[in-house]
Amino acid sequence: MSCPPGQRCEEGAKRRRALLVLGTMGAIFLALSAASFVDSRGQAIPSQVSYAGYDAVEGKRVFQAYNCMGCHTIVGNGAYFGPDLTKLYGKVGPAWLEAFLPSAGAWPTSGAVAMQLRDGAIADESGTASIDAYLEKYPDAAERVARRGGHASLMPNLPLTRVETQQLVAFLKYASSIHTEGWPPKPKVDGLSFPQARPMPAALASTAGGAIPAGGQAAAASPAEQGAQLARDTGCMACHSAGTERLVGPGWGGLYGTEETLDDGSTIRVDEAYLTESILDPDAKVVKGYVPHVMPAYEGMLDAGQVESIVTYIRSLGGDHP
């Protein structure tokens, strides 16, 4: 390109500067592209975060299959109907999640969380086998138990298997371990006095008493009342209703004495023996239409007197009493 007569020509210098800027930008682009192939860059890697033998990649597939993002947010992605799940695992711990996810229609009680801690693998993952120590270590779990335990939630009961539940926990564990640069944001409420700005109530003292007692519910007036209290304390009512409504498991109203068809086509009468076996080993005889490996086995978690009390409570809810 020619320069006008009598004027200083700067076209060459401008061209060189433009080429220098372009070359610098190209070098930066290539450097960043190369850095993107570095394995972790200091971040947690999904395939290296595991829970109960399952890695976070498997859990993400479950998270996507059930469209959890339709209600929840992970690292800023998703919807805002339900709470943000990014740091949930680190706040409530694995025992609370194991108690909640299979029966999400109701919030876990401290007894339900304590029941999960009877599993050695969950206790090891939690870093404690004591419900008191667990609620102290995970104060957000304590707050949820105190404010919501035993109450209905807005989340549906999803047909999660035991494996899917553990895979989801693995994904939530990964989400809680990544560096999010401050996400989710924390609202500043310093100096505000209206109720919504006040801290959540301390829950450690009030929740510890909900753990499963060693020898039944002595304060109850009758075996059926003892069973009703025990069913609430252990979280049974998150999956079973006292009426005929089916939640995760069958409603207990009128259940005793009925004939049920099992998944192998045989039939069985719902009596004391069957109910006792179903509490201690729920996968021994699975009723047709229900998913196995969802209900935890209470063998070694409840003593014979406690199981008998729950069976007595179920029988008191109606049905054929031979």
Q: Specify if 183 maps to a domain.
A: no
Residues facing 84 on adjacent strands: 73
Q: Give CA torsion, residues 163, 87, 212, 120, to 10 deg.
A: 50
Q: Specify if 134 maps to a domain.
A: yes
Q: Specify if 206 maps to a domain.
A: no
Same domain as 134, residue 230: no
Same domain as 101, residue 173: yes
Number of domains in the chain: 2
**Phi and psi dihedrals of 117, rounded to 5?**
-70, -15
Q: Specify if 139 maps to a domain.
A: yes
Same domain as 311, residue 238: yes
Judge contact between 248 and 265, C-beta under 8 A.
Answer: no
Judge contact between 14 and 21, C-beta under 8 A.
Answer: no
Q: Specify if 18 maps to a domain.
A: no
Distance CA 203, CA 55 (A): 32
Q: Specify if 20 maps to a domain.
A: no
90-96-101 Cα angle (round to 5): 105
Same domain as 52, residue 148: yes
The enclosing domain of 63 has a CATH number of: 1.10.760.10
Burial class of residue 21 (count of CB atoms within 10 Å of its CB; 0-12, 13-18, 19+):
exposed
Last residue of a domain, one of 154, 177, 200: 177
Same domain as 172, residue 218: no
Same domain as 165, residue 62: yes
Distance CA 113, CA 59 (A): 21
**Phi and psi dihedrals of 77, rounded to 5?**
-105, 130
Q: Specify if 17 maps to a domain.
A: no
Burial class of residue 132 (count of CB atoms within 10 Å of its CB; 0-12, 13-18, 19+):
middle
**What is the SS3 assignment for 55?**
strand
Q: How confident is the model at residue 123 (pLDDT cuts 50, 70, 90)?
A: very high
Q: Specify if 80 maps to a domain.
A: yes
Going by C-alpha positions, the residue among 225, 229, 246 that lies closest to residue 289 is: 246
Instruction: Kindly report, residue by residue over 47-96, the tens digit of the pLDDT.
Output: 889 999 999 999 999 999 999 999 999 988 899 899 999 999 999 999 99
pLDDT at 203: 37
Q: How confident is the model at residue 197 (pLDDT cuts 50, 70, 90)?
A: low
pLDDT at 209: 44
The domain of 255 spans 212-316
Instruction: Kindly report, residue by residue over 233-270, the tens digit of the pLDDT.
Output: 777 888 888 999 888 889 999 999 999 999 999 999 99
